[in-house]
Each structure stands twice: as structure tokens, then as C-alpha cells.
């Protein structure tokens, strides 16, 4: 009984998210951008390494990452994208600085890190 | 101004709702971001969560720790951090609600804890230790410390125990991880700790990684090896020797998968090939090497060594090793090893945690001595350390029962009396006999011979092998246990007195990492509640002990530190005494590495560093090389470029040891047909009392698994996620299965971090230990496995304080 | 303590009155509204069943047409479940 309303809401929400996604992006202003675009998961489901689902959900991204230097050196999804409470599709660039502070400091200010180091491949330069 | 987490969630809720309705709200979550530009201050320090010694900066805003980033100028990590290093600020100050904040006490272990004042806590601790000493003698008390304590902490603890309480019952968890490496370095090279440095990563042309899952245990060092390999795909070779295929194997050109416990044979077979194919370095052998055998360290000839090694033909050894080993693979590995411009061997617990761990270390060193793969760029026999201060604090600071500060053996009268003189205490105060080593210490607890023990910054109730056996002793009502730590653990569950301690960045002190490098972390945030630095606790405790026992010498031990403010001045005074008095003139001379010097550097100082000028340059990159090591010049006896002046080899030679193959203490048999091995996973560290409390890390690996080879899984009807019972002669676990080409056939592998009683693998492991180093054989025992059910929903588990 | 983000649809003619009435429900915070009758609300309660009761109470307000959950966070409930509290 407990939580039935919420559970059904979450289900609707998950569907709505998938449907609403494209429309969303165009409507967004920076201040109303949602922090999380991840479908809601149960507490148990949240105890799953990101890569376990994303291997199937986003196989191309997974493969790119797995074969990149980040993949080989075990730099995991959550280190750049956060976890469920603070997921960001595009990471905060300052997160890159946790490891790449020297490069972050001298980067061209009109570009994002991944403009030159494509996301999930992370070549030295594009 | 940062948002609270709850505030953040509420704003997220509002923003998400608004975006559905297409509404703009006049709020944002940006100021929750850990990296907002209005940083208050950044503070240099060292990572807490492995032995690499990554340097990082902590961002503090309004007194709160909010982010960590790597220091690009640091010679250890070059700015890189792993996920643990990025996130452990979440445990600092008031960031984590579960931090221990008040001293807790119970007279009996079946009672609940009560909060008490520090005054009362220190009274209880001193009265109990004093009472025990009076009634049962000085050897009935003990200190069990940690490779995670600052050097200042280990040093003052052992000073009070030895000089004050007149016992050498001083041990620490490095006995469980590094003791065999110490034994190996001392017996092979005459001096503890590696000759070279991480700087060899960028100069090596061949990496021989054996018994180390570097990719997960030392991810930031692994990055440097990976980079070296990827930038020089054809010219740099990586050999990975391990019974388990691990993420480290991904960069390997050659994977040698041998059956557990056949490592000594494999290493001897490589030596066989080196001798047979004349790949050894004759000049190097002539100038620097000797051959030794047996307990009496008998000197033998090269011919005798050759005759000994004849027994280890690659063909024969390939059969002994099983797995994927062939004679060709052994030959290829030996050839690459010997012929490369610079070969760097790397190992850790796979070699050290063996009942013949010292021998295994010796046999790796043998290969380097034979081929002269030492002292030149890229050539090094390099043991990786698991804890941030196992080297600096415990190996160098006198944190084991048989060693005094600065690599002095307890049993050497001259060195012991030297320490007594330097401390200004009467000669004969430190007993000449080493105390109990770790396994003997907890056996003595079991037998009621130790009646009072102070356990600092570690959790033996979970980390000892066959831990149920030792938990029984720790539960005894006649054994008084003090535990100082930052979170509840399996060990605080067995304590009488819990003392809440300050975490890194909440106090000041030095960590000495794998490469002989000492690095300072200065206090940047306040400890939560009433948590205190250990150095303060020990000083105050010693003063009370001195009164209780009416013994002024105990007070004398802490006299130089009286009246010092505990957050900076006190540890600084301890460091000064240790470096200026105790290390001066020793092989780990740190007298140039004062706090002032350490604070100036982005990283730290590698000993020997006898002067400030030398220390300011970072110290000694490669030991024993004239022109690079000031002590090699100072102690030079001839014109040769290398001077092996280590204190343990008066003949100044490197010793090649004749060490036969010896299997593990327990072999699989018909009743227990599998090898069980254990190890770490990247997201968690040790007993996960810290990493388990960081939600990102907990979610990435919420519980321990048992890895089963797919062939075994098929034979036993095991599917991924099935619940598997792992049983040994000691105990049992029930864990979910990971079916994975990791462990070789006939072997299972379990992560050891989980605190859940059903998944705590040290209830199953064996407490056999190396007769030389006394380090237990965590890595091999016999077990049987059985599928008990399909997948079950599991919950992560951490010990919590009962309210 | 669960936190939920909701879009509440109310009678566009009676927005001010609706917001006022919604605000009087304990644990409800109103973050904004538009002229089409969309109201953004955040609700906080000590258990999720309590939140369901709040939703019911809101539904009972005559100017409210619908209540839609868009965000839910119950992580500390999960933690408490873990502790066996």
C-alpha cells in the first residue's frame, strides 16, 4: 500500500522524461535547467555501477569510454557526471580540473574542454 | 555560501518541476557546485586513501571542506587523482554526520557506550594501563597502530610505550602488508625501501608487474605506466604475472597466469633463462653481488647458485605453474626483462602476503641484481605500498616490535642505547627483546597475556586473517581495549573506550609514501565535535601514566612537547625531534626536511636529505648512486659509481639468494578444492569505514563479490548474481557471484572491504604467516564453494554507533 | 525525509487564492506559478506515506485540478531502511 501513489507517479515520470526530453531542451533557460535528467530509480537500483546499465543503454558511449585512457585507468562515469542527486549530462568544467588543473588554467576561455578533447574518447587533441 | 545538501535537493525538486511547466524560477543550484569561483582558500596536503602519496589541494569555504583537486607540480601524481582522492573531503569536519565526536566508554563490553568528557577518558585510559602494568608486568600492555597514522603519531606512541612503559609491544597494520617487502629489501640490498623512484616510470622500457593489481590499487601511478606504454607502444613492454587477470592486465603485452603459490618457481625459472642464455651482467655481478643461502646467510659461489637453479628449467616450471604458463612465455619474459634499457619490477600484496613473502621478494631482487637492472634510469626493483604512511611512519618511525626509529633494530645494543641517549632516558629503559609481532600480539590477547591494548586508526577485527579467532580474544572482559578512530568500525564494536580523532586536514603531520618521500599536510578545517589529534591524546595520557605509576621517566618522554598547541606546534616539535635527533646520520636522514622546507614544496622530500639545500631540491631520487645520493658520496669506499652502504650489509654487497619453490601453507584438497584469494577494488579502501560513507563510492561497489572463473561456474551451475557460499576450515561467507575471466580455473577471488558479517572474507582466510617477516598469507588458502540460491536483493552494510 | 517536486494544476482564474491555500498545507513550499495555472511546489514530509496524505489533502482543494510528481528524493528513507530504524 505504502508508496503506491509515488511509485505510479515515478513510472509516469520516467515515461514523461523520455517523451519530454527533446521538447525540454529547446524550452530551457539556464536557470530552470533540471539537475537530473536520469530516470528515477529505486534505492536498490541505485546500487548499480553506472556502466552496468550503460553498457546496454548507451553502448557506443560505453565502448568509447572503455577504450579511452579514462576507461583503461578506471576513471568512472560518476567522477565527471556525478551521481543521481547531482547528475550532469555535460560535466561542470571545474570537475575536469580535479585532475587536469594545469590544462584547465591555460585553456582557451572561449572553448569547452571537450571541444578539443572529445568526450569519452579523450584524444589529446581533436 | 554553499547550500546544504537538503536545500540542494529541495531546489532540485523545484527546478525540475518548473522545467516541466516551462517556468523560470529566480533560483539556481549553481552555488552548490563544489568549484564555484569564489574559493576562500586552497590547502596543500596528501591523499589519505593509498600509499601513492598523491598531492592535492583542499578547497575550504567558510570553514567547510568543499572540494579536492590534484597539484600539477607534484612529482608523485602530476595533478591526477582517482575517485577516492576527489571525494574524501566529504568525510571532513561536519560534512559527515556519523563522525565520532565525543569520547565513549563502557566498563564492560556487553554494556552500551556512554559519552564522557576527555578528562575522564584520559583518566580511565591511564588508570587501566597503569593497573595492568602493576598487576601483570610491562609486557601485558600493547599498542597496535597504523600505516595511516602520521609519522609524528606513530613516533610519540612508540616513544611512550618503549621509553615510558618499558615494552616493545608496538605493532601496526603494516605488518599485514609491507613486512615481507622490508624483509626482502634488507636481506637483498642491505637497506629497507626502494632504491629508485616513481621517476623511473617515465624511463623504464620494461615493466614486470607481479602480484599487483596496480590499476585498481594505485590508479594514479598506473596512469603513468599506462601513459608510458601508450606513448611507446612498440618499445615499452609490460609483463603482468598474476593468477588473476585484472584491469592491470589490459596494458600487458604478456600475461603470465600461474597457479597461486607457484610464484617462487616462476621467478627462479626466469633466473634460469638469464643464466642459461648468458643474459646476466658480468661486471655488475663482479662489482656488487654475492650469493647467499640458508638461515645462517652462508656465502656461496656463482657455480653453486647455477647448480641450484638447474632445477628450475622453464619446461619443468611451466608444469608446476599451470595456468597459461608455457616454457616459451617464461623465456620471453626473462629475455624482455634482461635486455630492456631499464626494467622496473612492481609488486605489492600478491608477493608480500605469502607464507614465503620474503623469499618471493628476494627472488624478484635476484633478477635485478643478476641483470644489473638497478640504479640506472628506468631500472628498479620497486615495491608499491598500500597505505599512505606505512613507509614513513611505521617502517621509518619505529612502528614495529623489532625496530626503533630510523631503521634501528631493537636487539642491537648499540643502537638501542643510542635511542635512549637521544631521548635522555636511562640506559636499559628500552627492553632488549622485541615485542609481540601482530599475529603473536592478538594471539596473546586471546590467551589473556595482553590485558590492555590501544588500537589506533585501524580495524584489526576485520583486517586480521581468520578474524573470528582473534575477535574472540578481543571480546574478553578482562582485556581493556582503547580504540581511537574517526568512524565506528568492527573494532570499535569490541572497545571499552572509543576516542574520537581528527582526520587528515583537521590536524597537522607528515606522510611518507612508497618512494621515500615525506610530505606535510597542515590543518585546514576544524575537527567535528570534540575530536582531537592523537599527538595530544598521547601526551596527556603519558603525563597521567607518569603520575599513576609514579615514574618520572614517562613524563620525560613527552617533556619536549609540553605546552605546545596541538594542531601545529606539537606535531612540529615531534617531527623536529624525530628528524634532527633520530634520523640524523642514519640512512633515512631527514634532517634537511623541516616543516619550513616541506611547506615550501608542492610535494615533499625524498630521503636521504641530510641538508636543507638538498631537501629543497626534493632530496634523493636514486639511492646508492654517487652524484645522485649525497650519502653514496659520503660513505664511498672505492671509485665504483654505486655504493651500497645500507646498514644491514657490512660487506656493501647486494645478495642473490638461493630460495627454493615453496607452496602456500594450505593447499586445496578434495574437501576444499578451490584456492581462495582476496584483494581490493578501486572504489573502496581497506575496511571501507571511510569509502563506504561516500555515496558515489558506495554505489559503485556496494558489496563484496566472489569472482568465479566461467569454467568453474558452468561446472557448478553458478550464474552471475547467484548467492555463493564460500567455506574454509575457519569460517564461511555468503556472497553474490561475479562470473568473470579474472581468477584462473580452480581459484576464487573475494574483495575484502565489506563490513557485513556474511561478506567479511577475513572470517574465511588463513592466519598462517611468513616465518621471517611474520606477515600473514592472506592471498592463499583452500576453500569450497556452493551455490545456495539465485540472486537476492542485498543491502550495503556499515557498522553504525548504536544510539 | 522525502522531498518531492510537483507541478500542481489549478484554476487559472483563481491562482492567487489557490497558492494561498496551498501554502497553508504544512510541508508545502510554493516556488512559482504562471498565468496558465501551473504552480511549482516542493513538499517535504517525514515519510513517503505522509507525503501521499499531503497530496490527497491538496487534491481535496476545490481549485486544484491535478497534482503531478516531477521529482522525488527519498534517499535518507533508504538509509534508515538500511539501519533497520
CA nearest neighbour of B267 among B387, B174, B136, B358? B358
β-strand pairing of B723-727 with B732-739: antiparallel
Tell if the CB–CB gap between B215 and A75 is shorter than 8 Å: no
pLDDT at A70 over 70: yes
| Helix, strand, coil fractions of chain B, as percent rounded to 5 | 35, 20, 45
Domain termination residue (choose one: B587, B616, B638) = B587
- Is B710 a domain residue? yes
Q: What is the pLDDT of residue A22?
A: 33
At A26, the pLDDT band (50, 70, 90 cuts) reads very low
Q: What is the pLDDT of residue B29?
A: 53
CA of B97 to nearest chain A CA: how many angstroms apart?
18
Best B69, B248, B250 residue to mutate vs chain A (most A CBs within 10 Å)? B69
CATH code of B772's domain: 2.40.40.20
Give whole-number Cα distances, B627 to B11, B199, B380, B620, in Å: 62, 17, 18, 10
Higher pLDDT, B171 or B31: B171
At B303, the pLDDT band (50, 70, 90 cuts) reads very high
Whether B201 and B228 have beta carbons less than 8 Å apart is answered as: yes
| Backbone φ and ψ of B119, nearest 5° | -55, -45
Question: How high does pLDDT run on average in chain C?
Answer: 81
Tell if the CB–CB gap between C5 and B795 is shorter than 8 Å: no
Higher pLDDT, C59 or B477: B477
pLDDT-wise least confident of A64-68, B22-26, B595-599, B774-778:
B22-26
Task: Quick: pLDDT tens for B549-592.
Answer: 999 999 999 999 999 999 999 999 999 999 999 999 999 999 99
Question: Does the CB of B22 have a partner CB in chain A at under 8 Å?
Answer: yes
Q: Calculate mean pLDDT across residues B609-632.
A: 97
| Region class of A52: left (phi > 0), else alpha (psi between -120 and 50), else beta | alpha
pLDDT-wise least confident of A10-24, A78-92, B209-223, B551-565:
A10-24
With a pLDDT cut of 70, the percent of chain C lying above it is 86
With a pLDDT cut of 70, the percent of chain B lying above it is 97
Do B248 and B266 lie in one domain? The reply is yes
Tell if the CB–CB gap between C78 and A2 is shorter than 8 Å: no
CA R_g for chain C: 14
ipTM entry: 0.88
Of B13, B18, B23, the CB nearest to C3: B13
Whether B312 and B249 have beta carbons less than 8 Å apart is answered as: no
Name every residue in A having a CB less than 8 A away from some CB of C: 2-6, 9-10, 12-13, 16, 34, 36, 40, 43, 46, 85
Tell if the CB–CB gap between B17 and C42 is shorter than 8 Å: yes
Do B7 and B49 lie in one domain? The reply is no
Best B4, B6, B9, B754 residue to mutate vs chain C (most C CBs within 10 Å)? B9
Task: Quick: pLDDT tens for B182-200.
Answer: 999 999 999 999 999 999 9
CA of C74 to nearest chain A CA: how many angstroms apart?
8
Tell if the CB–CB gap between A99 and B79 is shorter than 8 Å: yes
Concatenated DSSP letters for B137-185?
Answer: -GGGEEEEE-TTS-HHHHHHHHHIIIIIT----EEEGGGGTTHHHHHHH
Look up the pTM and report it.
0.85
Of B17, B25, B27, the CB nearest to C71: B17
CA of A9 to nearest chain C CA: how many angstroms apart?
6
Q: Calculate mean pLDDT across residues B696-719.
A: 96
CA of C35 to nearest chain A CA: how many angstroms apart?
17
pLDDT at A18 over 60: no
Tell if the CB–CB gap between A6 and C69 is shorter than 8 Å: yes
- Is B649 a domain residue? no
Cell numbers describing residue B565? 598547541
Of C33, C68, C71, the CB nearest to B13: C71
Closest residue of chain A to B56, computed from CA coordinates: A98
Tell if the CB–CB gap between C7 and B17 is shorter than 8 Å: yes
Number of domains in chain C: 1
- Report the sign of the C-alpha dihedral through residues B410, B411, B412, B418, in that order: positive
Question: Does the CB of C42 have a partner CB in chain B at under 8 Å?
Answer: yes
Task: Quick: pLDDT tens for B374-384.
Answer: 999 999 999 99
| Region class of B137: left (phi > 0), else alpha (psi between -120 and 50), else beta | left
- Report the sign of the C-alpha dihedral through residues B362, B367, B369, B373, in that order: negative
| Separation CA B576–CA B570 (nearest Å) | 10
| Backbone φ and ψ of B271, nearest 5° | -65, -40
Q: What is the pLDDT of residue C32?
A: 86
Q: What is the helix (H) or strand (E) element at residue B535, kind and residue range? A: helix B534-548
Question: How high does pLDDT run on average in chain B?
Answer: 95
Task: Quick: pLDDT tens for B115-148.
Answer: 999 999 999 999 999 999 999 999 999 999 999 9
At B342, the pLDDT band (50, 70, 90 cuts) reads very high
Domain termination residue (choose one: B570, B587, B604) = B587
pLDDT at A15 over 60: no
pLDDT at B34 over 50: no
Cell numbers describing residue B477? 572482559
What residues in C contact A82, CB-CB < 8 Å? none
- Is B800 a domain residue? no
Domain ranges of chain A: 49-126
Do B224 and B87 lie in one domain? The reply is no
Report B:219-238 residues touching A (Cβ under 8 A): 219, 222-223, 226-227, 230
Give whole-number Cα distances, A22 to A14, A37, B240, C6, in Å: 14, 12, 47, 21
Tell if the CB–CB gap between C48 and A43 is shorter than 8 Å: no
For residue C24, what are the domain limits? 3-83
DSSP-derived letter for residue B323 is T
With a pLDDT cut of 90, the percent of chain B lying above it is 94
Q: What is the helix (H) or strand (E) element at residue C21, kind and residue range? A: helix C15-23
Do B24 and B59 lie in one domain? The reply is no
Do B158 and B187 lie in one domain? The reply is no
Cell numbers describing residue B551? 615514574
Tell if the CB–CB gap between A97 and B702 is shorter than 8 Å: no
Number of domains in chain B: 5
Whether B796 and B683 have beta carbons less than 8 Å apart is answered as: no
- Is B225 a domain residue? yes
pLDDT-wise least confident of A86-90, B515-519, B683-687:
A86-90
Do B360 and B223 lie in one domain? The reply is yes
What residues in C contact B10, CB-CB < 8 Å? 3, 29, 42, 44
Question: Does the CB of C30 have a partner CB in chain B at under 8 Å?
Answer: no
CA R_g for chain A: 17
Tell if the CB–CB gap between C41 and B796 is shorter than 8 Å: no
Q: What is the pLDDT of residue B18?
A: 79
Best A19, A38, A85, A99 residue to mutate vs chain B (most B CBs within 10 Å)? A99
Task: Quick: pLDDT tens for B320-338.
Answer: 999 899 999 999 999 999 9
Name every residue in B having a CB less than 8 A away from some CB of C: 6, 9-10, 12-18, 20-27, 695, 795-797, 800
Number of alpha carbons in the 13 Å side-chain half-sphere of residue A49? 16
> Nearest-5° angle of CA A121, CA B216, CA A88?
45
Q: Calculate mean pLDDT across residues C58-81.
A: 74
At A20, the pLDDT band (50, 70, 90 cuts) reads very low
pLDDT at B2 over 60: no
Do B566 and B696 lie in one domain? The reply is no
For residue B24, what are the domain limits? 1-30
| Backbone φ and ψ of B33, nearest 5° | -55, 135
Tell if the CB–CB gap between A43 and C74 is shorter than 8 Å: yes
Task: Quick: pLDDT tens for B648-660.
Answer: 999 999 999 999 9
CATH code of C79's domain: 3.30.70.920
| Backbone φ and ψ of C44, nearest 5° | -130, 135
Cell numbers describing residue B182? 622490508
Task: Quick: pLDDT tens for C22-55.
Answer: 888 888 988 888 888 889 999 888 887 888 888 8
Tell if the CB–CB gap between B699 and A35 is shorter than 8 Å: no
Whether B698 and B692 have beta carbons less than 8 Å apart is answered as: yes
At B411, the pLDDT band (50, 70, 90 cuts) reads very high
| Separation CA B472–CA B494 (nearest Å) | 10
Amino acid at each position: 500500500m505504502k508508496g503506491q501513489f509515488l511509485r505510479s507517479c515515478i513510472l509516469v515520470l520516467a515515461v514523461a522524461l523520455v517523451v519530454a526530453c527533446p521538447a525540454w531542451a529547446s524550452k530551457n533557460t539556464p536557470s530552470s535547467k533540471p539537475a537530473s535528467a536520469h530516470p528515477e530509480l529505486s534505492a536498490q537500483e541505485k546500487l548499480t555501477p553506472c556502466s552496468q546499465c550503460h553498457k546496454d543503454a548507451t553502448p557506443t558511449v560505453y565502448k568509447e569510454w572503455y577504450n579511452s585512457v579514462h576507461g583503461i585507468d578506471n576513471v568512472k562515469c560518476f567522477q565527471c557526471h556525478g551521481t543521481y542527486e547531482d547528475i550532469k549530462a555535460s560535466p561542470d568544467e571545474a570537475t575536469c580540473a580535479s585532475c587536469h588543473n594545469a590544462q584547465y588554467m591555460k585553456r582557451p576561455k572561449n572553448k569547452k574542454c571537450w571541444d578539443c578533447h572529445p568526450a569519452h574518447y579523450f584524444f589529446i587533441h581533436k | 555560501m554553499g547550500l546544504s545538501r537538503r536545500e540542494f535537493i529541495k531546489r532540485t525538486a523545484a527546478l525540475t518541476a518548473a522545467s516541466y511547466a516551462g517556468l523560470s524560477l529566480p533560483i539556481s543550484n549553481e552555488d552548490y557546485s563544489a568549484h564555484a569561483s569564489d574559493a576562500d582558500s586552497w590547502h596543500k596536503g596528501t591523499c589519505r586513501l593509498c600509499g601513492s602519496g598523491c598531492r592535492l589541494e583542499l578547497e575550504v569555504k567558510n570553514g567547510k571542506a568543499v572540494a579536492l583537486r590534484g597539484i600539477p607540480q607534484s612529482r608523485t601524481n602530476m595533478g591526477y587523482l582517482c575517485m577516492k582522492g576527489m571525494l574524501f573531503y566529504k568525510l571532513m569536519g561536519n560534512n559527515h554526520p556519523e563522525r565520532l565526536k565525543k569520547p565513549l566508554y563502557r566498563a564492560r563490553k556487553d554494556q552500551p557506550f556512554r559519552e564522557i568528557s576527555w578528562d575522564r577518558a584520559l583518566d580511565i585510559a591511564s588508570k587501566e594501563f597503569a593497573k595492568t602494568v602493576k598487576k601483570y608486568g610491562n609486557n601485558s600492555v600493547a599498542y597496535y597502530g597504523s600505516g595511516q597514522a602520521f609519522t609524528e603519531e606513530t613516533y610519540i606512541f612508540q616513544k611512550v610505550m618503549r621509553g615510558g612503559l618499558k615494552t616493545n609491544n608496538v605493532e601496526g597494520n603494516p605488518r599485514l602488508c609491507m613486512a615481507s617487502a622490508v624483509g626482502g629489501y634488507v636481506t637483498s640490498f642491505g637497506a629497507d625501501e626502494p632504491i629508485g623512484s616513481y621517476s623511473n616510470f617515465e624511463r623504464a622500457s620494461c615493466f614486470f608487474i607481479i602480484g599487483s593489481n596496480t590499476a585498481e590499487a594505485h590508479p594514479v601511478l598506473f596512469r603513468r605506466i599506462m601513459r608510458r606504454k601508450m606513448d611507446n607502444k612498440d618499445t615499452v613492454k609490460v609483463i603482468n604475472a598474476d593468477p588473476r587477470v585484472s584491469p592491470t592486465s589490459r596494458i600487458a603485452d604478456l600475461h603470465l597466469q600461474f597457479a597461486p603459490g607457484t610464484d617462487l618457481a616462476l621467478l627462479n625459472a626466469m633466473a634460469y633463462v638469464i643464466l642459461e642464455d648468458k643474459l646476466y651482467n658480468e661486471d655488475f655481478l663482479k662489482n656488487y653481488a654475492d650469493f647467499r643461502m640458508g638461515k645462517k646467510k652462508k656465502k656461496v659461489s656463482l657455480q653453486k647458485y647455477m647448480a641450484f637453479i638447474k632445477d628450475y628449467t622453464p619446461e619443468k616450471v611451466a608444469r608446476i605453474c599451470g595456468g597459461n604458463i608455457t616454457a616459451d612465455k617464461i623465456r620471453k619474459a626473462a629475455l624482455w626483462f634482461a635486455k630492456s634499457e631499464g626494467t622496473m619490477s612492481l609488486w605489492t600484496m600478491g608477493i608480500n602476503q605469502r607464507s614465503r613473502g620474503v623469499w618471493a621478494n628476494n627472488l624478484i631482487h635476484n633478477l635485478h641484481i643478476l641483470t644489473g637492472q638497478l640504479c640506472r634510469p628506468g631500472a628498479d626493483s620497486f615495491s608499491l605500498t598500500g597505505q599512505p604512511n606505512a613507509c614513513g611512519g611505521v617502517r621509518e618511525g619505529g612502528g614495529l616490535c623489532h625496530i626503533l626509529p630510523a631503521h634501528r633494530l631493537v636487539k642491537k645494543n648499540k643502537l638501542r642505547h643510542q635511542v635512549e641517549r637521544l631521548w635522555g632516558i636511562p640506559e636499559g629503559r628500552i627492553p632488549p627483546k622485541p615485542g609481540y609481532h601482530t599475529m603473536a600480539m592478538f594471539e596473546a590477547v586471546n590467551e589473556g597475556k595482553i590485558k590492555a591494548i590501544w588500537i589506533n586508526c585501524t580495524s584489526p577485527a576485520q583486517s586480521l586473517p581468520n578474524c573470528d579467532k582473534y575477535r574472540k580474544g578481543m571480546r574478553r572482559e578482562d582485556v581493556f581495549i582503547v580504540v581511537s578512530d574517526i568512524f565506528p568500525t568492527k573494532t570499535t564494536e569490541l572497545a571499552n573506550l572509543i576516542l574520537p580523532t581528527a582526520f587528515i586536514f583537521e590536524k597537522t603531520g607528515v606522510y611518507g609514501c612508497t618512494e621515500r618521500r615525506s610530505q606535510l599536510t597542515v590543518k585546514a578545517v576544524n575537527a567535528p565535535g570534540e575530536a582531537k589529534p592523537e599527538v595530544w591524546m598521547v601526551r596527556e595520557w603519558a603525563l597521567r601514566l607518569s603520575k599513576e605509576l609514579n615514574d618520572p621517566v614517562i613524563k620525560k618522554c613527552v617533556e619536549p612537547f609540553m605546552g605546545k598547541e596541538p594542531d601545529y606546534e606539537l606535531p612540529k616539535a615531534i617531527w623536529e625531534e624525530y628528524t634532527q635527533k633520530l634520523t640524523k646520520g642514519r640512512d633515512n636522514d631527514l634532517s634537511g626536511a623541516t616543516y619550513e622546507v616541506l611547506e615550501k614544496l608542492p610535494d615533499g622530500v625524498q630521503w636521504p636529505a641530510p641538508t636543507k639545500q638538498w631537501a629543497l631540491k626534493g632530496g634523493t631520487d636514486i639511492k646508492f648512486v654517487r652524484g645522485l645520493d649525497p650519502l653514496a658520496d659520503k660513505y664511498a669506499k672505492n671509485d665504483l659509481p654505486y655504493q651500497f652502504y645500507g646498514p644491514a650489509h657490512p660487506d656493501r654487497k647486494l645478495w642473490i639468494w638461493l630460495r627454493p619453490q615453496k607452496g602456500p601453507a594450505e593447499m586445496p584438497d578434495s574437501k576444499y578444492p578451490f584456492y581462495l584469494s582476496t584483494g581490493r577494488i578501486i572504489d573502496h579502501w581497506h575496511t571501507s569505514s571511510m569509502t563506504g560513507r561516500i555515496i558515489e563510492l558506495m554505489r559503485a561497489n556496494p558489496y563484496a563479490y566472489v569472482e568465479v572463473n566461467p569454467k568453474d561456474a558452468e561446472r557448478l551451475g553458478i550464474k552471475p548474481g547467484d548467492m555463493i557460499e564460500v567455506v574454509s576450515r575457519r569460517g564461511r561467507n555468503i556472497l553474490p557471484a561475479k562470473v568473470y575471466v579474472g581468477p584462473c580455473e580452480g581459484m576464487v577471488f573475494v574483495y575484502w572491504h565489506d563490513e557485513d558479517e556474511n561478506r567479511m572474507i577475513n572470517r574465511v582466510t588463513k592466519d598462517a604467516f611468513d616465518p621471517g617477516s611474520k606477515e600473514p598469507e592472506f592471498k592463499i588458502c583452500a576453500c569450497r564453494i556452493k551455490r545456495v540460491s539465485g540472486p537476492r536483493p542485498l543491502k550495503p552494510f556499515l557498522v553504525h554507533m548504536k544510539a | 525525509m522525502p522531498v518531492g517536486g510537483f507541478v500542481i494544476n489549478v484554476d487559472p482564474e483563481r491562482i492567487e487564492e489557490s497558492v494561498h491555500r496551498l501554502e497553508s498545507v504544512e510541508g508545502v513550499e510554493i516556488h512559482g506559478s504562471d498565468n496558465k495555472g501551473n504552480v511549482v511546489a516542493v513538499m517535504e514530509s517525514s515519510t513517503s506515506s505522509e507525503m501521499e496524505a499531503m497530496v490527497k489533502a491538496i487534491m481535496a482543494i476545490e481549485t486544484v485540478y491535478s497534482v503531478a510528481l516531477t521529482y522525488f528524493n527519498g534517499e535518507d528513507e533508504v538509509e534508515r531502511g538500511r539501519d533497520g530504524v
